[in-house]
Structure 1
């Protein structure tokens, strides 16, 4: 990066952190630190909810996901608007009426302490692991820029976010997220526009989309019902609905965002705002990946986007073979470029026979480059069995650092840092609140002073910061980060959601029945996920219904009188 980019990057991050700490004021008690005095307006909540979900993974990995797999991932979000409606009707008013710090407090009132401990424990495991993945995303960028190992950049990023979360609490998180999302929207729009500008003069926006479509990348909706397919309209609406409902309704990193609302109405409006904006936002981010795909049909991409792994193999005994493959790849790319231009000419001629012929030729040329790339990955694995051979997380980063003008590179990289800081800070805040409220305050040291709980919250934030950094050090082996974080959540979210559904709607079930049902369901879901019985989105719905079914089955055996919260 140039000096201008470094100045833009450093200034943007410094101003955001300073602004958040300034607006947060002084935290004198646990309510201020964790809930921001429940005083925030709907647009703060809406942007905070979006920023918590839209981590660096979204802006780093989503374009790469579209580049390699097309637009079909957008179906993942189709269940979101319906989930927001259910949350606004059921979850939000209950949580506000009870004035809880965490979602899991309600479960003790409804069931018992062990059910509250189980669900909060599942959340801590899931969110702690997922936050580690979120920290790893910007660490990739910094490692590429500085040409150093991701271990050092992971520790730096994790430490920085932990620092300002400890100082500022939830208000610092919320105010920084408000500004972060504003900058993110501007920066991503500029990136998308510049991809189109940088295309060859005879290739416009419409041409790029048509080319991507002919290569199978504009697969926005898949109507085929296939439980083994990760992304189709059915898994998105049904499985996605259960995942989003559990994420926004039972995950403290999100519940903590809208519990800061000054009223039920403000929290509801914030969630509705998220439901309306999220799908178009995600569509546009994926579309940037499609445009980058079209761009690289006419501009030679690296044979492998992760330059750290390329460097490792070039310093090994396989360097000669890798260099030979790079030469073959360059020639294969020129063939593919020629075929891409022929397809564009055929499309302009509106001759379907010519279009079909040119499309087949381009796919054949693309298969040749893919085969050479596969051989290069084989050399990486021979050199190091632990090599990270999934480079989708590096696609957009490569485009940004090589083709965008000075200044904008720094801004876009700052965007990814900001997204990571926003989502990670929210997660650390929620991990701290759950640890202190559901464990420390409830079972270890009840009746302590506000000062004691505030100190415990800060220490819990530091602890979870270190745990998440440790997890981040292993995240590089998990493939595409966007898919990894959602797969991980799908192992747990369905079970937690099932417990809440029973709590809200099945009044006759007691705590022991739902506790055992949740344990059994979690075991079954983990087995199904491990063996790939169904695509991961379906695990959310299956987990939820398993808890409901098993709790109804077990309740008569327990002979336990249910409590009504």
Structure 2
């Protein structure tokens, strides 16, 4: 442990080995699919995995894509500070999945486009497509910067690992396997990474329960330190979070992501059938 703070430690050899192992595995997946699919004849096969993927790996990939460090770090803080009303996002998720699978997905899937912005050109004109593409690129650059910086900052604060070392290593490896392996590499590395994330969550829960003496003790501590309000049905739209603002407002937010976001659409149209895509 560091002499400056009892909360900040440092990586030992085993920790660095695990971190390096994850990077090597991710890079290896990219190399594997670059070799296996070296006979691909079109960019569509590269970008959509030949449209041969199934529901399970794609759904896990979708989960991993938007369960970033931002989510992992911010949601507990949100609940602790403002209460658990964001739990009503579960309602918005259900509505969003129905709307996406029955309205947006069939259109994109049957058109066979590799980009949602191709649809804008088909529906309107090339200028609209270019505008949408540029806005998406800007948004993605800003979002990706935060997504990479957040876990690097967490590692730096908790373990003392070099901040820029974490940023550069993660960014380089992700770029490497995406460029070599295409969508298949992205999907399967997401599956592996999600498994590691869930294992981490589970280990934290088990450790916390073992140390603090059970769920009831943890809930008691959280009630003393923060807020656990959830049953708020106030109709005032100016309130921060209520059932109505989260479930209804959240439906529009998540539909904009799952319905038309390129990162999502590109994955579900890579499925081998529309039934698999809807699942």
User: What runs of 5+ residues in structure 2 fail to find an aligned partner?
Assistant: 1-10
1:420-431 equivalences under 5 Å are none
Match of 2:59 in 1: 46
Match of 2:235 in 1: 225
**Cα distance change on mapping 1:221 and 1:52 into 2, 3 Å:** farther
User: What runs of 5+ residues in structure 1 fail to find an aligned partner?
Assistant: 270-565
Match of 1:179 in 2: 192
Q: C-alpha displacement at 1:240, in angstroms?
A: 0.6
Match of 2:216 among 206, 215, 219: 206
Task: For residue 224 of structure 1, give the secondary structure of its aligned residue in structure 2.
Answer: coil
Q: C-alpha displacement at 1:61, in angstroms?
A: 3.2
Q: TM-score, normalised by structure 1?
A: 0.44
**Cα distance change on mapping 1:121 and 1:16 into 2, 3 Å:** closer
Match of 2:37 in 1: 26
Residues 75, 221 of structure 1: 8 Å contact kept: no
Task: For residue 202 of structure 2, give the secondary structure of its aligned residue in structure 1.
Answer: helix
Of 190-199 and 151-160, more deviation after overlay is shown by 151-160
Distance 2:231 2:199 in 1: 27
Q: Deviations over 1:80-121 (max 9, x none)?
A: 111110111111111111110111212222222222222222
Distance 1:176 1:65 in 2: 29
Residue 72, structure 1, aligned to residue 85, structure 2 = yes
Aligned residues: 265
Q: TM-score, normalised by structure 2?
A: 0.85
Match of 2:264 in 1: 254
Match of 1:160 in 2: 173
Residue 239, structure 1, aligned to residue 257, structure 2 = no
**Cα distance change on mapping 1:117 and 1:77 into 2, 3 Å:** farther
Q: Deviations over 1:489-529 (max 9, x none)?
A: xxxxxxxxxxxxxxxxxxxxxxxxxxxxxxxxxxxxxxxxx
Match of 1:126 in 2: 139
Residues 40, 261 of structure 1: 8 Å contact kept: yes
Task: For residue 78 of structure 1, give the secondary structure of its aligned residue in structure 2.
Answer: helix
Residues 38, 262 of structure 1: 8 Å contact kept: yes
Q: C-alpha displacement at 1:184, in angstroms?
A: 2.0
Residues 56, 137 of structure 1: 8 Å contact kept: yes
Task: For residue 116 of structure 2, give the secondary structure of its aligned residue in structure 1.
Answer: coil
Larger radius of gyration: 1
Distance 1:42 1:135 in 2: 27
**Cα distance change on mapping 1:19 and 1:157 into 2, 3 Å:** closer
Match of 1:138 in 2: 151
Of 258-267 and 20-29, more deviation after overlay is shown by 20-29
Higher relative contact order (CA 8 A, sep 6+): 2
Distance 2:176 2:276 in 1: 29
Distance 1:17 1:177 in 2: 12
Task: For residue 153 of structure 2, give the secondary structure of its aligned residue in structure 1.
Answer: helix
Q: C-alpha displacement at 1:225, in angstroms?
A: 2.6
Task: For residue 232 of structure 2, give the secondary structure of its aligned residue in structure 1.
Answer: coil
Task: For residue 93 of structure 1, give the secondary structure of its aligned residue in structure 2.
Answer: helix
Task: For residue 219 of structure 1, give the secondary structure of its aligned residue in structure 2.
Answer: coil
Q: C-alpha displacement at 1:215, in angstroms?
A: 4.6
